[in-house]
Structure 1
Amino acid sequence: MSDRTPILAQPMRPPTAGRVGALLGFFVLGAVVGAAGALVQPGWFPGGLLLALAAEAGAVLGATRVMRARSGGVAVAAGWMLAVILLTASRPEGDFLFAAGSGSYLFLLGGIAVAVICATFAPGWQPDGDPVRLGK
């Protein structure tokens, strides 16, 4: 394959065990950040909410930088969403973690928005070589 072959025409390589392990690690990191944010955001409102959302943004952007692909950010966001959704469910005893207040809704909806924004705007994979535009 020559250097002029478009990226989409290159064959896809199977994922390596290290890459899969890193993505699983980022998934767990996202779940931990989501659980910690769920505990911090109601305690120090509004500073806790901002801290929780900033932690999520840092984890998503950091994962995309480390993996050099958006899949790292998606793994963190998926772990965050899973943890937060599981924590919103009430228990049979009537206990719950999220109160029906504006802070909880801002955390849920803001966290989803932060994950989408950070995963979208994070730099994706770029081919190695000359710093000129492709196709020239």
Structure 2
Amino acid sequence: MNVGRLAAYAGLFVLGAIVGVAGALVQQAWAPGGLLLALAGSAGAFYGGSRATGTRGGAVAPAAGWLVAVMFLTATRPEGDFVFGAGLGSYVFLLGGMGVAVMCATLGQSPQPGASDARLGK
């Protein structure tokens, strides 16, 4: 691991946290469009991080930031304030975001081999 890759992972972690907070605020708005927008933003951050770094860690870093931010927002405070309501959309956002993170982290990263100059079979 070099310093550039660690910096990229740290930036992706912060990006994932920002996407998680934005998704938490948007997912209840414009039902069901807000939920779809929040999940699409999460998927874009996870898959984009994976493609940008070329590794599975590129998807895990924003997913970890997303999870930290979302879990922080689900906790109730002593004042009784919390971001997520007890609706179906909140659970779909939480479970769907985790599912999208797993899918993006487990996608294969190896490119298809190019065409060979050799003639096969002769």
TM-score (norm 1): 0.80
Q: Which runs of 5+ in 2 are unaligned?
A: 116-122
Aligned residue for 2:109? 124
Select which of 55, 64, 74 maps to 1:88. 74
Aligned residue for 1:3? none
- 4+ long deviations beyond 4 Å: none
Instruction: Provide the identity percentage.
Output: 60
Select which of 29, 37, 46 maps to 1:43. 29
Deviation at 1:131, TM superposition (A): 3.7
Secondary structure (helix, strand or coil) at the match of 2:96 reads helix
Select which of 97, 101, 107 maps to 2:87. 101
Note if contact 1:69-1:125 (Cα within 8 Å) is conserved in structure 2.
no
Cα root mean square deviation, aligned:
1.6
Work out whether 1:59 is the aligned partner of 2:59: no
Aligned residues: 115
Deviation at 1:125, TM superposition (A): 4.8
The whole-number CA distance in structure 2 between the counterparts of 1:57 and 1:48 is 14
The whole-number CA distance in structure 2 between the counterparts of 1:98 and 1:81 is 14
Aligned pairs for 1:13-28 (under 5 A) are 15-28=1-14
The whole-number CA distance in structure 2 between the counterparts of 1:120 and 1:45 is 30
Q: Which runs of 5+ in 1 are unaligned?
A: 1-14
